[in-house]
Amino acid sequence: MDQSSEKHGMPLLGDAFPEMKVQTTHGELDLPKAFKGKWFVLFSHPADFTPVCTTEFVAFQKRYDQFQSLNCELIGMSVDQVFSHIKWEEWIEKNLKVQIQFPIIADTGAVAQKLGLIHPGKGTNTVRAVFIVDEKGIIRIIFYYPQELGRNMDEILRSVKAMQISDKNGVAMPAQWPDNEIVGDHVIIPPAKDVKTAKERLKKAEAGEFECFDWWLCHRKL
């Protein structure tokens, strides 16, 4: 097949993040190798010097320390030249008193095409996509927003933390965690996959190992 005519779609959850060399405001980086052993959040934005994107970058930067405390890096991206990124960063620092410390990819369109980020009917503008990638380079979460809606960075931060807890403890995370309407800050024990385990669940609940509404809905504190 002629590679020039090859079409790329968005990677799926559980896929390895595609290997690529990217030019950024921090120099050339090899992804995902540059963040080996770390989680990272790659987020695309439609364009520099646009109002919603500016609010997003400030919001990400204000939470940068919290992401790093989770062994997680940030990297932005749009189809803009690196010079535009740099001038935009300077504008944000001068006018909003916020210094952007994470790298921003200056894409020619190749990265956006490879990740399936071009907004339908919007020319070369990228959507507001978010890829949360784990320390092994595996895509764990994908968020996909239209141009008109800015992202909730606290939800992205919560998602990274929740997935790390899930991986470490072999549990699932309830809606609104850590403030769920049913189980509060508890985590969910994955449903039993056989009759024997299902019967044992309620016995363990009676022994105080965890709490159950039924054998298929059990929860516990971390």
pLDDT recorded at residue 86: 96
**Residue 191, domain member (yes or no):** yes
Per-residue pLDDT tens over the stretch 43-68: 998 889 999 999 999 999 999 999 99
Per-residue pLDDT tens over the stretch 128-177: 899 999 999 999 999 998 888 999 999 999 999 999 999 999 999 999 99
30 in the same domain as 102? yes
pLDDT recorded at residue 22: 95
Q: Cα–Cα distance between 189 and 212 in angstroms, integer?
A: 9
Per-residue pLDDT tens over the stretch 75-131: 999 888 999 999 999 999 999 999 999 999 998 888 888 888 876 665 566 778 999
pLDDT recorded at residue 6: 46
**Residue 141, domain member (yes or no):** yes
pLDDT recorded at residue 123: 58
174 in the same domain as 147? no
Q: How many structural domains compose the chain?
A: 2
178 in the same domain as 130? no
Instruction: Say which CATH number the domain at 195 has.
Output: 3.30.1020.10
pTM of the model: 0.90
State yes or no: pLDDT of 219 exceeds 80: yes
State yes or no: pLDDT of 1 exceeds 70: no
In this structure, what token pair is assigned to residue 164?
């790390």
Catalytic residue IDs = 53
Task: Give the range with max mean pLDDT: 9-13, 122-126, 184-188.
Answer: 184-188
DSSP 152-191: -HHHHHHHHHHHHHHHHHT-B--TTTTSBTTTBT-EEEPP
**Residue 38, domain member (yes or no):** yes
By residue range, what is the domain housing residue 186? 170-222
Where residue 8 falls among pLDDT bands split at 50, 70, 90? low
Q: How many helices (H) and strands (E) in the chain? A: 6, 10
Per-residue pLDDT tens over the stretch 32-41: 999 999 999 9
Cis amide linkage into residue 11, ω under 30° from 0: no
**Residue 161, domain member (yes or no):** no
131 in the same domain as 66? yes
